[in-house]
């Protein structure tokens, strides 16, 4: 996408240069040093996206000077603003230009400013981008249980300049969440403009799911206001259209290639456009049909493949989402959303036969090294993330446990999706005898995290200690990584900022790597219920990086209470 944007800018500048060249050619016998040169110093501009229903103004005031004149009576001005489908609209004829932004403006707004010397017929151009400034661009959100009440906290920012807020939702909106806390989810890649209107440069906005016993909140990830055009029932359209107003969101996960929610054990999925219209994925006949109960999923993507795998705890098996087309095109989905119920028949009866379905993972070109349809009885799936394998390829790594034994399963999304031949769908599995005391987790999940920044590593917590498990050797190797100073503390959560490759974030013309695929967060709960968020910057070997003094690079953020769930929210700038 950055390449396309650079190409677009290059095309604009080439056109500008061609125009300037022709203007100079018209000067006839003028000597170059006698030409009155126009110099534009554009300045740097940004805007903050206002809350829903509000507007803000931005004034562009570039400095214009001439090499041979002081007055500006010889100058005329044209402002052009980039619109849909890379078109340019003429919007102003003054030295400055003021425009309005609304809550729907979440991407860079591009202008061209042209200044013409009317006496000489020379035009000089400047391209002026206006970049949005968002809150919570790199932010941990923490859902707490404070005396039975859901409270959303945050650790916002990067490096040492973090802002810790125990109740960021109330601070931003002036109200409290309803109900007791259940969980969090995030979709960082919801398109902010229709894909057909802006195909080469889609802006993204963040959807933050905050789930309580009273309500499944879908928030704007930059303002924390309830989303102006999306709520849970609009996304899971089929529930409301069929009269089912029950909700039990268990997972919410989004990537550039899709958006998925598990509600009450059933998968709902939307293709990657701004409509975010979800369909319930049926259990296909090859997988036995009927009911299923999904407890975990991984919506993975790589350079050439997309793969959604979920764990069916009722059937003790992995299932694969076999179709991202949903049996319906963009225009049909748009009609359903705009129809106000008049197009429900089209929603429930897609006009193509390839409706969404879940299927068993079968053998690829090479035999499977484990049977994904017959996993150990009683397996608790702790985490489904990504891991790097040889030659930079990323596979899904699912890790669960039975008793004090981990079972880790590696699955190839490239093979499952048919993008790469000569591979096994299920190339590896391991059993790992745990170290440390995991009794404090009872019959629930053990905190586990992984990322495709690392080659076949995963991390887990036991009591107040984090361990690294290296699966690259003949036998798995377990190494203690970090231990909390409080011997009575329990690490209740462990997550990478992202389990996929690092994001490069563009600020103006600069690309900055965020390293989110090797930054890990842990929730440390003390005996009095107080909680810390501890963040680690890890090396490629899965060790904690050291600072200049040789000490481990560990940041601790306190001030939270009974953290139930936490998630990292990030924004990719195009």
3-state secondary structure 315-365: CCEEEEECCCCCCCCHHHHHHHHHCCCCCHHHHHCCCCCCCCEEEECCCCC
**Counting Cβ atoms within 10 Å, is residue 276 exposed (0-12), middle (13-18) or buried (19+)?**
buried
The residues near 440 (Cβ < 8 Å, ≥ 6 apart) are 463, 490
- Identify the pLDDT of residue 59: 97
For 499-515, give the DSSP string: SSSPPEEEETTEEEE--
Placement of tokens 């890379």 in the chain: 86
Give the least confident one: 244-253, 319-328, 385-394. Answer: 319-328
In a domain, 77, yes or no: yes
In a domain, 34, yes or no: yes
Mean pLDDT along residues 160-189: 95
As given in the structure block, the two tokens for residue 71 are 């007055």
From residue 555, alpha-carbon distances to 160, 470, 487, 520 in Å are: 9, 24, 19, 11
Of the two residues 299 and 333, the one the predictor is more confident about is 333
Highest mean pLDDT among 85-89, 129-133, 138-142: 138-142
Handedness of CA 18, 19, 20, 24 (dihedral sign): positive
The model's pLDDT over 11-35, given as tens digits with 9 standing for 90+, comes to: 444 444 333 333 444 444 444 457 8
Mean pLDDT along residues 231-250: 93
Asked whether the beta carbons of 430 and 456 are under 8 A apart, the reply is no
Neighbours of 264 (CB within 10 A): 13
**Counting Cβ atoms within 10 Å, is residue 416 exposed (0-12), middle (13-18) or buried (19+)?**
buried
> HSE on the CB side for 343, CA within 13 Å?
16
Structural domain range at position 110: 2-133
Distance CA 501, CA 275 (A): 26
The CATH number assigned to the domain holding 14 equals 2.60.40.10
Neighbours of 257 (CB within 10 A): 17
Distance CA 392, CA 373 (A): 28
- Identify the pLDDT of residue 191: 86
Mean pLDDT along residues 238-248: 92
**CA 78 from chain center: how many Å?**
38
In a domain, 30, yes or no: yes
In a domain, 21, yes or no: yes
pLDDT of 2 over the 70 cut: no
From residue 129, alpha-carbon distances to 10, 47, 503, 508 in Å are: 14, 11, 22, 8
In a domain, 389, yes or no: no
Supply the pTM of this predicted model.
Answer: 0.83
In a domain, 204, yes or no: no
As given in the structure block, the two tokens for residue 339 are 């129809």
- Identify the pLDDT of residue 206: 93
pLDDT of 326 over the 80 cut: no
Neighbours of 87 (CB within 10 A): 9
- Identify the pLDDT of residue 28: 45
First to last CA, the chain: 7
- The total domain count for the chain is 1
Distance CA 326, CA 271 (A): 8
Asked whether the beta carbons of 251 and 266 are under 8 A apart, the reply is no
In a domain, 99, yes or no: yes
In a domain, 64, yes or no: yes
pLDDT of 350 over the 50 cut: yes
Distance CA 306, CA 243 (A): 32
């Amino acid at each position: 996408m950055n390449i396309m944007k650079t190409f677009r800018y290059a095309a604009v500048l080439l056109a500008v240069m061609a125009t300037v060249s022709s203007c100079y050619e018209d000067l006839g016998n003028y000597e170059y040093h006698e030409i009155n040169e126009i110099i534009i110093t554009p300045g740097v501009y940004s805007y903050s996206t206002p809350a829903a229903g509000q507007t803000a103004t931005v004034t562009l005031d570039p400095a214009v000077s001439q090499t041979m004149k002081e007055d500006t009576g010889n100058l005329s001005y044209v402002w052009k603003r980039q619109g849909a489908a890379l078109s340019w609209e003429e919007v102003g004829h003054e030295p400055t230009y003021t425009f309005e932004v609304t809550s729907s403006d979440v991407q860079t707004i591009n202008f061209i400013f042209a200044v013409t010397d009317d006496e000489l017929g020379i035009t000089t151009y400047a391209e002026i981008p206006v970049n949005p400034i968002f809150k919570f661009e790199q932010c941990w959100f923490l859902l707490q249980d404070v005396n039975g009440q859901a409270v959303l906290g945050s650790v916002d920012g990067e490096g040492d300049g973090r802002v810790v807020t125990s109740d960021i939702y109330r601070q931003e909106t002036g109200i409290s969440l309803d109900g007791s806390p259940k969980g969090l989810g995030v979709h960082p890649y919801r398109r902010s403009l229709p894909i057909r209107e802006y195909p080469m440069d889609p802006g993204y906005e963040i959807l933050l799911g905050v789930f309580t016993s009273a309500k499944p909140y879908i928030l704007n990830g930059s303002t924390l206001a309830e989303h102006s055009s999306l709520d849970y029932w609009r996304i899971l359209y089929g529930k409301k259209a069929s009269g089912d107003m029950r909700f039990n969101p268990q997972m919410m996960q989004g990537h550039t290639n899709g958006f998925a929610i598990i509600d009450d054990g059933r998968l709902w999925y939307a293709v990657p456009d701004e409509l975010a219209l979800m369909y319930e994925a049926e259990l296909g006949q090859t997988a036995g049909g009927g009911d299923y109960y999904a407890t975990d999923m991984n919506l993975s993507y790589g350079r050439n493949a997309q793969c959604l795998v979920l764990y069916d705890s009722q059937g003790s098996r992995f299932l694969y989402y076999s179709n991202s087309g949903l049996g319906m095109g963009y225009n049909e989905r748009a009609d359903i959303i705009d129809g106000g119920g008049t197009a429900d028949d089209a929603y429930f009866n897609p006009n193509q036969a390839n409706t969404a379905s879940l299927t068993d993972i079968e053998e690829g070109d090479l035999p499977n090294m484990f049977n994904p349809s017959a996993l150990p009885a009683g397996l608790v799936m702790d985490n489904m993330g990504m891991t790097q394998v040889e030659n930079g390829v990323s596979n899904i790594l699912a890790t669960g446990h039975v008793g004090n034994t981990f079972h880790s399963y590696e699955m190839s999304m490239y093979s499952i999706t048919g993008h790469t031949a000569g591979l096994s769908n299920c190339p590896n599995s391991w059993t790992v005898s745990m170290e440390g005391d995991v009794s404090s987790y009872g019959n629930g999940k053990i905190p586990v995290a992984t990322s495709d920044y690392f080659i076949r590593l995963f991390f887990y917590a036991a009591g107040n200690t984090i361990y690294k498990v290296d699966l690259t050797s003949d036998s798995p190797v377990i190494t203690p990584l970090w231990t909390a100073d409080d011997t009575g503390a329990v690490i209740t959560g462990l997550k990478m900022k992202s389990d996929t490759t690092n994001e490069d974030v563009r600020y103006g013309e600069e690309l900055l790597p965020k390293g989110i695929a090797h930054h890990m967060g842990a929730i440390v709960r003390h005996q009095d219920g107080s909680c810390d968020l501890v963040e680690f910057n890890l090396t490629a070997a899965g060790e904690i990086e050291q600072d200049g003094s040789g000490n481990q690079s560990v940041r601790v953020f306190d001030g939270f209470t009974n953290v139930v769930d936490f998630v990292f929210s990030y924004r990719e700038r195009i």
